[in-house]
Chain A
Amino acid sequence: NAGVTQTPKFRILKIGQSMTLQCTQDMNHNYMYWYRQDPGMGLKLIYYSVGAGITDKGEVPNGYNVSRSTTEDFPLRLELAAPSQTSVYFCASRTLAGALPYEQYFGPGTRLTVT
């Protein structure tokens, strides 16, 4: 059971480039989330999904897109990278079942620099 995995771990992008951050979970969780964390700050919710085929905006969705074609995968797409998107990106998942339905499991993060 690998939990939540994210790739890549690090990436440097030039302004205007595009990329996809991958996130996969093997726990059969319905809910998945994307957060960004700027240095010394809290986590800001970008997008979330309550199940395959359903996505919704969080607090800071501009400049990002997501899709959820399977329960396991929730990729985050940056279309035109900007320096303001330099951050650490965390993917998380949770299930409605079990004793702690609000416990989120986080991936290790992707450190993105846009120059």
Chain B
Amino acid sequence: GQSLEQPSEVTAVEGAIVQINCTYQTSGFYGLSWYQQHDGGAPTFLSYNALDGLEETGRFSSFLSRSDSYGYLLLQELQMKDSASYFCAVNRDDKIIFGKGTRLHILP
């Protein structure tokens, strides 16, 4: 089977940096993805890590350590529009399995 663990909620201040962690247990692991979902909307793709290390896309970065079965999403220069739920997802064979999500609250 597979399981993903991420915090249910995180709170940060506008303009600050926040890190959302994800640990996973799965066989046949190919990579780790991150998705953003605003209330009432559909998930949208943010990033993907197949190899260890940091991937940067604008204000968002994602990190993976395959040996530790651990990854994180880093959001910099937080804006109010970043208030959303963030999901890590394991790419396993042809399946993509999602975690339960982390609700990010941003304070002005």
**Stretch with Cβ within 8 A of A (4 or more), from B13-21, B62-70, B98-106:** B98-106
Q: How many A residues face the partner with a CB closer than 8 A?
A: 25
A35-51 residues with Cβ-Cβ distance < 8 A to B are 35, 41-45, 48, 50
Contact B42 A109 (CB under 8 A): yes
**B51 within 8 A of partner (CB):** no
Q: How many B residues face the partner with a CB closer than 8 A?
A: 21
Main SS of the interface on chain B? strand
Task: Tell me whether A107 and B42 are in contact in the complex, defined as CB-CB below 8 angstroms, given that A48-B95, A50-B94, A102-B33 are known contacts.
Answer: yes
Residues of B contacting A59 in the complex (Cβ-Cβ under 8 angstroms): 97
**A26 within 8 A of partner (CB):** no
Contact A48 B42 (CB under 8 A): no
Task: Tell me whether A43 and B95 are in contact in the complex, defined as CB-CB below 8 angstroms, given that A102-B31, A102-B33, A103-B48 are known contacts.
Answer: no
Residues of B contacting A74 in the complex (Cβ-Cβ under 8 angstroms): none
**A61 within 8 A of partner (CB):** no
Residues of B contacting A43 in the complex (Cβ-Cβ under 8 angstroms): 43, 87, 98
**B44 within 8 A of partner (CB):** yes
Interface residues of chain B, those whose CB is within 8 Å of chain A, are: 30-31, 33, 35, 41-45, 48, 50, 87, 91, 94-101
Return the 5 tightest CB-CB contacts between A and B, nearest first: A106-B42, A42-B100, A43-B98, A103-B45, A42-B98
